[in-house]
A and B are shown apart, each in its own frame.
Chain A
Amino acid sequence: MQKFSTLFRRYNTWALFVVYCSTSLLFMKLQQDNTHIRMLHGAIEFTAFMAEKLTSYSYLFNMKKENDRMMRVNADLLSRVLILESAAVDKRNRQKILADTTINASGFIIAKVVDRKFSDRENMLLINAGWRNGIKKDMTVLTPAGLVGRVSAVSEHYSKVMPLIHTDFKVCVVSDKSNSMGVLSWSGGREFIAQVEHIPISSSLKLNEEMVTSEISTFAVSGIPVGRVVRIKPDKLFYTVDVRLAVDFSSLTHVLIAPLKPEPEKLEMDSDNAANEQLP
């Protein structure tokens, strides 16, 4: 026993180091825990509050009002454009009946970007709308120019947005002319170029075609512009396509948040399929 206590006294710094490391690893494991999430929500509120205060000093009051008015006008215009585009796509596909994914942009929520971090340690946007404003996790965030990202965490008055230029972000896209479908993701590098994968080599995709969100997407409303094809590189089975993103992430001030797609049955089917695939 004495030996043990001598040993412990001699190496107590190491023991403490091990305890701290174990606790840290435990916290990493418990990242999804409710208490942890509540703590994070509080931190989002505080961070956003501070960031908003810091930026508001340089923000001219009149410009803010004008911006808000312009955003409302933009929201109206966007709703019309999206509905028209969606209708045009449907017509081209000889689908006479309007699908229930037709965008009703009157439910869009306007929010201001109060903080933005783009570094090797953090990559997110913070907007000043939370669950009190009707924001829910996984809602689509967009601007009149195109898709911005998806809501990743929501607190009472603020939400965190995972931007399209995040390595964990993926969305189903379709080209407006050739109807080629693929999965868009961003794999680092230039912040205005993203990649589309899984487009079969047999498809007739051309340069400069516009990519819009697909109906297949589990979270994004269909018909939102994402970008234009700037490079097509054929591989063995699929094309690797570079898309120049429609949204300029460096100058985002306001965003729109689209309502969630009410497709519980589809999600259920997807999860069933995933479960079946795991079977041998």
Chain B
Amino acid sequence: MTRNIHYYIIALCITCMVQVFGLSRLTLFNVSPDAVTIFLVFISLTISQRAGMSFGFAAGMLVGIFSGNMGLNMLARTAEGFLAGFFHIPETSHATTRQKTKLLYGAILLSGFTGNAILAAGYNPLGLHPVYRIVVLGLLQSLFTMLLAAIVNRLVLKKSFLD
């Protein structure tokens, strides 16, 4: 972990930039997939809950600088990392790849939904109804993120989830 920390920090910065300048523009029904959530869930699952939380805090700061809501983003991302930590897979785990993948999607769904709910509660620029904003768009956002996670999982993450 200590050896790889630099890579993880660089990966975090790249993910945040991709999210701010790329993915946030791919909106469908006013929501876009969230690569930062996937990254945080991956960190929480493979390293630890504390690492997920700390990376979440830093990610929130980075994304928040660009969106103008730093505190709120920090809170939401920290919560995402924290919640994903409950799905942490220890190194000694005997879980199969399939089980680990299920944990990944479960964590993304829960973290993504919660993060979105926190952001929705604090900032609602389109004046959407809170229930619609939190429940419908929250679920839609989580599903988009899961779709992106499925692609990323096939291309990159699967190596980390081998039995």
Report which A residues bind B (CB closer than 8 A). Answer: 12-13, 16-17, 20-21, 23-31, 36, 39-40, 42-43, 46-47, 50-51, 54, 117-124, 153, 160, 166-168, 186-189
Contacts and interface: CB of A to CB of B under 8 A. Distances in A.
B146 to A, nearest CB: 18
Contact of B133 (A21, A46, A120): A120
B29 to A, nearest CB: 9
Given A39-B65, A121-B123, A123-B126, A21 B24 contact: no
Contacts of A25: 71, 75
Interface secondary structure of B, over-half rule: helix
8 contacts: A27-B71, A31-B70, A119-B31, A120-B120, A120-B125, A120-B128, A167-B126, A188-B128
A119 B32 contact: yes
B57 A23 contact: yes
Nearest to A29: B71
Given A40-B65, A54-B21, A24 B32 contact: no
Given A43-B66, A186-B127, A31 B71 contact: yes
B50 to A, nearest CB: 5
Contacts of B128: 120, 188
Given A17-B82, A29-B71, A36-B70, A121 B53 contact: no
Contacts of B64: 27
A20 B78 contact: yes
